[in-house]
Amino acid sequence: MHRVATTITRARRQGARLISYIGLAIAGSALLVNPLTLRWRRGLDAVNYSDVVWSYIFWAIVLGAVGYGLSRKIRKGKSWADGASLLYVLGAGIIMLDRLLLVYIGLTLWKHDPEVNYVQRAGAVRNLKIADRPEDLIVINAWGHHDTEFPEQKPEGELRGLMLGDSVTMGYGVTYAETFSARLEERLAESDEKHSSHNMINTGVHGYSTYQELVILERSLKFDPDFIVIGFCMNDVTEPFISDKDFGGTGLDYHGVTQTQSSLVGWLVNDTGFGRLTQRWAQRGKQIEREKRHEIYNVVEMSRVARDDPKYKEAWDVVLEYMGQIYKVAEREDVPVVLAVFPFVHQLHDETARAPNRILAEHAAEFGVEVVDMTVPFRDAIYPDMAAVQKMVDAGATSEEIVEAHKERIFEFFFDADHFTGKGNAIVAEHLHGWLVDRGFVSG
């Protein structure tokens, strides 16, 4: 009997030692996966992975401590600890492998949201490598906005504007300081004597359309805005029918967020290493489908046809239905609203491609909403000599050839076909400032 007890005691000591070694190894792995090694491996891209590295370190320390504590319980002969040790090894292995996958794959700028599919990840920091500016950063505040931090309650004397929109409003390819929201704040600080401070709240998110902006508006009324700007880009009409499965889209797009109504499934698929790995595989299969839908719902083609064109009628009906609901919410809350129409590059020199501008203006007029169309201001900035452009048109030049001939000038104001550079955002800010002055919101 004594020998049996001795054997059991020895086995427990060995088991406790093994568990303590496993815990020590897990905790020690944080020496290999940390901000310093991340910087060495990723260089300037390290900032894009810092959140998942800190998550790895957190779990390594926690699970290492759990292993040490469990080993002590095993040594003391706690019967439950023997079974728990197996669960610990299995669970710790799965969790750390998952965190390690995230360190390799990373998280997107967006997280799952069951109501609007995705939102920007609060506190996320990413660099602007996409714009060949890896040293510059996008910083998402605690509200999930590409904006600076601000309190929910509006300070006395502050003018607050709420900016709704997609990636053009958000500021794709630029820092927050270069967005038209920030530039409008600066312009108001220089000239407006009616208010002690100004806060242009930038709620824009990549890929959003009007059905998502309606939800964001309702969520943002708590900030007590004095006016609302709806930034509308032409792909707001086509994007839902490419990406959103409720409109026949793929349910998975370049945001890398799988569309689902379940918060748990959304978290598992989008915020875990195993989920991100699965998404990588799924993305490959969806890419062909997405490209096919891009061919069907083509922005350039859409910009030249009427609202009742069979191919785009449903898309326009959906977009304008939700736009009308946004207008009604603004009216209900007695908050003035203005529609800012953002052009694609091809619309600047081609008046036949401005059908969406007319559709939007006519629809806004039905609700008594004013429109600030940025097409002509950008055209005048990029093509100061429209007579020369017209000569190219008369000579049979294609839209692509006209863009190519003026690309240096275009790239001063446009990052790509529809996103603005800092200089382009300054044009938007100046015209919004003019609207505010004209309506008596601010002093000139």
Q: What pLDDT, on a 0 to 100 scale, did the predictor assign at position 5?
A: 45
- Quick one: average pLDDT of 394-410? 88
Beta strand pairing status for 110-113 and 197-202? Answer: unpaired
Q: Which of 68-72, 74-78, 127-131, 353-357 has the lowest mean pLDDT?
A: 74-78
- E runs forming strands in 297-387: 337-342, 370-373
176-215: per-residue pLDDT in tens?
999 999 999 999 999 999 999 999 999 999 989 999 999 9
Strand partners, 245: none
Q: Which two tokens stand for residue 299?
A: 């922005």
Minimum mean pLDDT among 132-146, 218-232, 261-275, 278-292: which range?
Answer: 278-292
**Cα dihedral 140, 143, 145, 151 sign:** negative
**Residue listed under structure tokens 């446009």:** 414
- Distance of alpha carbon 321 from alpha carbon 45, whole angstroms: 41
* Token pair 């600076």 in the structure block, residue: 148
Which residue's entry shows tokens 């922005």? 299
363 pLDDT more than 80? yes
- The C-alpha atoms of residue 257 and residue 249 are separated, in whole angstroms, by 13
Could you tell me the pLDDT band of residue 285, with boundaries at 50, 70 and 90? low
pTM of the entire predicted model: 0.90
Beta strands 125-128; 337-342: pairing state = unpaired
The amino acid that residue 398 corresponds to is: T
Higher pLDDT, 337 or 240: 337
Q: Are 104 and 277 in contact (CB under 8 A)?
A: no
**Which residue's structure tokens are 């350039």?**
300
Burial class, 224, CB count within 10 angstroms (exposed 0-12 / middle 13-18 / buried 19+): middle
Tell me what the mean pLDDT of segment 382-409 comes to: 87
Please state, in angstroms and rounded to a whole number, the distance separating the CA atoms of residues 189 and 197: 7
* Residue 342 backbone dihedrals phi, psi, to 5 degrees: -105, 125
Residue bearing the bigger pLDDT, 430 or 250: 430
How would you class 268 by CB atoms within 10 Å of its CB: exposed for 0-12, middle for 13-18, buried for 19 or more?
middle
Would you give the DSSP letter of residue 172? T
The per-residue pLDDT for 250 is 62
Check whether 244 has a pLDDT greater than 80: no
- Is 77's pLDDT higher than 80? no
pLDDT digits (tens, 9 = 90+) for 85-95: 889 999 999 99
**Residue range 23-56, pLDDT digits in tens:** 999 999 999 999 999 999 999 999 999 999 999 9
CA neighbor of 158 nearest in space, from 188, 186, 198, 192: 198
DSSP element (H, E) containing 154? none
- pLDDT of 3 higher than 70: no
At residue 295, does pLDDT exceed 50?
no
395 or 8, which is more confident: 395
Rounded to an integer, what distance in angstroms lies between the CA atom of residue 341 and that of residue 266?
Answer: 33
Evaluate whether 377 touches 405 at the Cβ level (below 8 Å). no
User: Helix (H, G, I), strand (E, B), or coil: what is residue 403?
Assistant: helix
Residue 254: pLDDT above 80?
A: no
In angstroms, the CA 32 to CA 319 distance is 50
Interhelix angle 35-42/50-75, nearest 10 degrees? 140
